[in-house]
A and B are shown apart, each in its own frame.
Chain A
Amino acid sequence: MSVLIVAETQNNAIRSASNEAVYFGKKVAESLGVACSALIIGDADGGESLGTYGADKVLKVNTGGKGFDSQAHTQIIKQVAAQESASVIILMHSSAGKSLAGRIAIATDAGLVSGATALPSIEGSTMIVPKTVFSGKAIANYELTGDMKVITVMGNSLKPEAIGSAASVTEVSVDLPAFRTEVLGVKTQSGTVPLPEAELVVSAGRGMKGPENWGIIEELASELHATTACSRPVADIGWRPHHEHVGQTGVAIRPNLYIAIGISGAIQHLAGVNNSKVIVVINKDPEAPFFKAADYGICADLFDVVPKLTAALQKAK
Chain B
Amino acid sequence: MKLLVCISKTPDTTAKISFKDDNTQFNGDGVNFILNPYDEWYALVRAIELKEQKGGTVTVVNVGDSSNDIIIRKALAIGADEAVRIDQLPNSSMDTAKQIANYAKSEAFDIIFLGKETIDYNGAEVGAMLSELLDLPYVSFASNMDSSADHFVLTRDIEGGVEEIKLNAPFVVSAAKGMAEQRIPNMRGIMMAKRKPLNVVAGIETSSRASVKSFTLPAEKGGVKMIDPDNMDELVRLLKEEAKVL
A interface residues, Cβ below 8 angstroms from B? 10, 15, 17, 67-71, 74, 94-96, 98-107, 109-115, 128, 130, 132-146, 148-149, 180-189, 192-197, 200, 224, 242-243, 245, 248-250, 252, 256-257, 267-268, 271, 275, 277-278, 280-281, 291-300, 304-305, 308-309, 311-313, 315-316
Interface residues of B in 158-178 (CB under 8 A from A): 158-168, 171, 177-178
With a cutoff of 8 Å between Cβ atoms, the chain B residues found around residue A271 in the complex are 13, 119
Tell me if B120 counts as interface (CB < 8 A to partner A).
yes
With a cutoff of 8 Å between Cβ atoms, the chain B residues found around residue A187 in the complex are 161-164
With a cutoff of 8 Å between Cβ atoms, the chain B residues found around residue A149 in the complex are 209
Whole-angstrom CA separation of A305 from B127 in the bound complex: 45
Listed residue (B156, B221, B245) with the most chain A CB atoms within 10 angstroms of its CB: B245
With a cutoff of 8 Å between Cβ atoms, the chain B residues found around residue A102 in the complex are 93, 97, 124-132
Sorted from nearest, which 10 A-B pairs have the closest CB atoms?
Answer: A102-B128, A111-B209, A194-B160, A188-B161, A300-B229, A194-B159, A312-B232, A111-B210, A146-B209, A106-B132
Q: Is the CB of A296 within 8 A of B227?
A: yes
Can you name the residue of chain B whose Cβ is closest to the Cβ of A107? B132
Query: Other CB < 8 Å A-B pairs besides A105-B125, A112-B210, A243-B162, 7 of them?
Result: A101-B128, A102-B131, A113-B210, A139-B217, A243-B160, A278-B239, A295-B221
A-B contacts, 14 listed (Cβ < 8 Å): A71-B137, A95-B141, A99-B128, A102-B128, A102-B130, A140-B212, A184-B164, A187-B162, A278-B245, A295-B225, A295-B243, A296-B235, A298-B226, A308-B230
With a cutoff of 8 Å between Cβ atoms, the chain B residues found around residue A245 in the complex are 177
**What is the distance, in angstroms, from A242's C-beta to the closest C-beta of chain B?**
6
With a cutoff of 8 Å between Cβ atoms, the chain A residues found around residue B123 in the complex are 114-115
Interface size of B as a range: 35 or more
Q: Is the CB of A183 within 8 A of B165?
A: yes
Contact of B167 among A68, A107, A114, A181 (CB under 8 A): A181
Q: Is the CB of A99 within 8 A of B160?
A: no
- Per-residue CB proximity of B124-157 to A under 8 Å, as 1/0? 1111111111011111110100000000010011
Judged by DSSP, the binding face of A is: mixed
Q: Is the CB of A133 within 8 A of B177?
A: no
Tell me if B89 counts as interface (CB < 8 A to partner A).
no
Listed residue (A17, A95, A128) with the most chain B CB atoms within 10 angstroms of its CB: A95
With a cutoff of 8 Å between Cβ atoms, the chain A residues found around residue B19 in the complex are 138
Whole-angstrom CA separation of A136 from B127 in the bound complex: 22
Tell me if B204 counts as interface (CB < 8 A to partner A).
no
Q: Is the CB of A101 within 8 A of B120?
A: no
Tell me if B94 counts as interface (CB < 8 A to partner A).
yes
Q: Is the CB of A134 within 8 A of B11?
A: yes
Q: Is the CB of A111 within 8 A of B208?
A: yes
Q: Is the CB of B224 within 8 A of A135?
A: no
Whole-angstrom CA separation of A192 from B159 in the bound complex: 11
Q: Is the CB of B128 within 8 A of A315?
A: no
With a cutoff of 8 Å between Cβ atoms, the chain A residues found around residue B137 in the complex are 69-71, 180-181
Q: Is the CB of B158 within 8 A of A96?
A: yes
With a cutoff of 8 Å between Cβ atoms, the chain B residues found around residue A182 in the complex are 165-167
Q: Is the CB of A143 within 8 A of B213?
A: yes
Whole-angstrom CA separation of A104 from B235 in the bound complex: 46
**What is the distance, in angstroms, from A304's C-beta to the closest C-beta of chain B?**
7
Q: Is the CB of B156 within 8 A of A95?
A: yes
**What is the distance, in angstroms, from B181's C-beta to the closest C-beta of chain A?**
11
